[in-house]
Amino acid sequence: MSHAPLGSVDGARGAVPPPQEFVARSRYADPGVYDEAEADWVGWWEHQAHALAWTRPWDEPLAWDPPFARWFVGGRLNASVSCLDRHVEAGHGGQVAYHWVGEPGDRRDLTYAELAKQVGRLANALRGLGVARGDRVAIYLPMVPELVVAMLACARIGAPHSVVYAGFGAQALADRLVDAEAKVLITADGAHRRGEVLPLKRVADVAMGAAESVRACLVVRRTNSDVRLMPGRDAWYDEVVGQASPTCEPEAMDAEDPLFLLYTSGTTGTPKGIVHRTGGYLTHVAATHRMVFDHDPDRDVFWCAVNFGWITGHSYGVYGPLANRATSVLAEGALDHPSPDRAWRIAELDGVTTLYTTPAIIRAFRAAGEDRPAAHDLSSLRLLGSVGEPIEPEVWRWYHEAVGGGRCPIVDTWWQAETGGMMLSPLPAITEAKPGSAMRPLPGIEASVVDDEGAAVERGQAGHLTVPRPWPGMLQTIWGDDERYRRTYWSRFGDEVYATGDRARVDDDGDLWLLGRDDEVLKVAGHRLSSAELEAAIVDHRAVAEAAVAGRADPLVGHAIVAFVRLRPGYDADPARVAQLREHVAARFGAIARPETIVVVDDLPKTRAGTIMRRLLEDLAEGRAPGDTSALDDPDLVAHLVEATAEATGRR
């Protein structure tokens, strides 16, 4: 490892040692933690589990029947008790759990005592609606305090929640309601988004029309939008909750009982309901939140600046921080609206010490003006984090200098919805971080980069990133589909090795550099979208016969969506049609899925076996000369595709 002095990182691989001042105040500065964890990794995770509140100890820490694991077998706990009650009982009821900031500028502080009461009320109200242990509750809310309240209320009564990102459209919501057979939906009248109001309840109405299982719907008042309440099904959240008692007996959950489902994009058109268990998940997210963010509940103000509808918000916006009695910031709406300085104003006002967000957001901050953060007093910041995509070394360096003032370590954390919590990351007081590298497995975790045959690659080589042993935050299964769980994650390299679907390179020091996905999953502004799901949304339009999407690398959003579309006979490829198609996808799937470019083609490039040649579409999307096209069924198609793409991108 090279030893570059602080603030003068040179070259993509120059490592930045932790600043002395940071190390001096850190609680996790002993490099011995890696060996200690490795010497008895199951025992080490047991030790982490003791930091939670259990009502019955486990009999066995891990039962591994590949590819199915059971963690803390026989143990009992309730996640809401570990996150709320025990802090209140220990005298911290008056501590702020969330500084909430609404998009229009309204603010509200929520203490642990207040949060606990609200959770109790909603939990009782849900029980009153007939929600029993094991029933699923869907949550489709903007970033309002009720989102966190709803998650914890579900945890309290043992009803797995399924949070659906409020930017998703009716079809995406309906698919998720149907697959989970959700009994209740909690939504809002509307959501603020860049000064406009998204009609959430109206979208929910369409979705509920297609989801018979939903028997009741609670509606949070947020935007005073005009909504219709269907008698017998819908009710205002505040009216129902206002009548309920704040005291609610927690359900004694088994460590293995599901805490929640979270749908994520896979390689097929149907989203996967990732199931997370109670004991293992909470252990993993609490331990990693504590270590990786060097978290001190009496010092830090933690800001997980992402939408909580994604796994990052579940693990490091809600469960990890609350288990560790953190004071967090919860911000509604876009971070650069109404002013590009909004994030820095919030950080300044609330004295944020730790900021965790995505490269897409960091790039947008930078694009808004390299020097903007300098106009604010960001001296409270001591640690910065990144998640969701590789962060380019030059973006890393800007984050480090312009936001962190050169004194804050950066933790580039690699993980997935499926892993539940962080897997690879620097430890801020120990690791000499290399800009752009997620570095190494965290203590207690193992990872290996392997070739196609499953053999570990040499240093300097790239391959598939795998996890060759269980970890507590690992998904339990895919909702209702154990077989798909096995096939998707545990078949490529045998049933004892978890295939992440990512590619990575091991450098000469053994540190890991993520290279992107092996499969057809796109990252658009940090959001994970599958090409198959996008294609289904396009083909759903009556004018479309067939569609295939590819990602164009975009300096700001990661991937921009380029859709290749063959129209049905009788439909014209005029600009109005193209505009209509883009809006169709946005309405069905959500604005994040709106294709940047639509290329109308005579036919899609297929091999003689009939499969779409995705590599060629990627070349076209990127504006590269097509590579080897000899496998194409119709080689004459290439010239047409090149021309159509050039024309469409010229129109962009």
- The Cβ of residue 509 has, within 10 Å, a number of other Cβ atoms equal to 15
Nearer to ligand WTA, 52 or 524 (CB): 524
Is 167 in contact with 216 (CB distance < 8 Å)? no
Minimum CB distance to ligand WTA smaller for 102 or for 436: 436
3-state secondary structure 495-561: CCCEEEEEEEEECCCCCEEEEEECCCEEEECCEEEEHHHHHHHHHCCCCEEEEEEEEEEECCCEEEE
Q: What is the amino acid identity at position 606?
A: K
Based on CB atoms, which residue is closest to ligand WTA, 277 or 559? Answer: 559
Residue given tokens 């490099």 in the structure block = 31
As a whole number of angstroms, the distance between CA 567 and CA 581 comes to 11
Shortest distance in whole angstroms from residue 489 CB to ligand WTA: 12
Distance of alpha carbon 576 from alpha carbon 583, whole angstroms: 11
Question: Which residue, 280, 344, 286, 336, is CA-closest to 315?
Answer: 286
CB of 312 to ligand WTA, least distance (A): 5
Minimum distance between the CB of residue 484 and ligand WTA, rounded to whole angstroms?
16
Smallest gap, in angstroms, from Cβ of residue 396 to ligand WTA? 11
| Dihedral sign for Cα atoms in the order 221, 259, 123, 98 | negative
Q: How far is the CB of 38 from ligand WTA (least distance, A)?
A: 22
Contact between 501 and 517 (Cβ < 8 Å): yes
We find the least distance from the C-beta atom of residue 502 to ligand WTA, in angstroms, to be: 5
Rounded CA separation 573/581 (Å):
11
Tell me how far, at minimum, the Cβ of 411 lies from ligand WTA, in Å. Answer: 9
Number of helical H runs and strand E runs in the chain: 21, 31
Q: How far is the CB of 137 from ligand WTA (least distance, A)?
A: 22
Write out the residues near ligand WTA by the rule CB under 6 A: 264, 310-312, 387-390, 412-417, 438, 500-502, 514, 517, 528
Which element (helix H / strand E) includes 138?
A: strand 137-140
The dihedrals phi and psi of 163, each to the nearest 5 degrees, come to: -85, 130
What is the SS3 assignment for 314? helix
Toward ligand WTA, which CB reaches closer, 19 or 501?
501
Measured between alpha carbons, how far is 125 from 150 in angstroms, rounded to an integer? 11
Alpha helices, DSSP H, located in 25-60: 33-39, 41-49
Cβ closest to ligand WTA, residue 517 vs residue 614: 517
Distance in Å, CB of 413 to ligand WTA, minimum: 5
Shorter beta-carbon distance to ligand WTA: residue 187 or 500: 500
Token pair of 454, please? 């499953």
Q: Taking Cα atoms as reference points, which of 622, 503, 504 lies closest to residue 555?
A: 622
Count CB atoms within 10 A of the CB of residue 468.
Answer: 15
Nearer to ligand WTA (CB atom), residue 78 or residue 416: 416
**Measured distance CA(185)–CA(234) in Å, rounded:** 9
Nearest CB to ligand WTA, comparing residues 124 and 312: 312
In this structure, how many other beta carbons lie within 10 angstroms of the beta carbon of residue 162?
Answer: 22
The CB-of-517 to ligand WTA minimum distance in angstroms stands at 5
Q: How many CB atoms lie within 10 A of CB 635?
A: 11
Residue 175's SS3 state is helix
Nearer to ligand WTA, 80 or 419 (CB): 419
Judged by beta carbon, residue 102 or residue 385, the one nearer ligand WTA is 385
Residue 417 or 648: which CB sits closer to ligand WTA?
417
Q: Tell the smallest beta-carbon distance from residue 415 to ligand WTA (Å).
A: 5
Task: For residue 273, give both structure tokens.
Answer: 């309901």
Residue 503 CB, shortest distance to ligand WTA, in Å, is: 9
- Cβ of residue 515: shortest distance to ligand WTA, in angstroms? 8
CB of 448 to ligand WTA, least distance (A): 16
Q: What is the DSSP letter of 307?
A: -
Nearer to ligand WTA, 97 or 311 (CB): 311
* Side-chain-facing half-sphere of 327: CA atoms under 13 Å: 19
Backbone dihedral region for residue 624 (phi beyond 0: left; psi -120 to 50: alpha; all else: beta): beta
Query: Shortest Cβ distance from residue 435 to ligand WTA (Å)?
Result: 12
The position carrying tokens 């030893």 is 3
Smaller CB distance to ligand WTA: residue 186 or 424? 424
Could you list the beta-strand ranges (E) of 289-418: 301-304, 327-331, 354-357, 383-387, 410-413
- Cis bond upstream, residue 5 (ω within 30): no
Of 93 and 388, CB closest to ligand WTA: 388
Q: State the Cα–Cα distance between residues 652 and 649, nearest whole angstrom.
A: 5
Least separation in angstroms between CB 641 and ligand WTA: 28
Amino acid in the structure at residue 394: E
Upstream peptide bond of 67 is cis (omega within 30 degrees of 0) = yes
**The tokens 């009564």 sit on which residue?**
157
Q: Which is nearer to ligand WTA, 414 or 498 (CB)?
A: 414
Residue 226 CB-density burial (10 A; 0-12 exposed, 13-18 middle, 19+ buried) = exposed
Toward ligand WTA, which CB reaches closer, 499 or 598?
Answer: 499
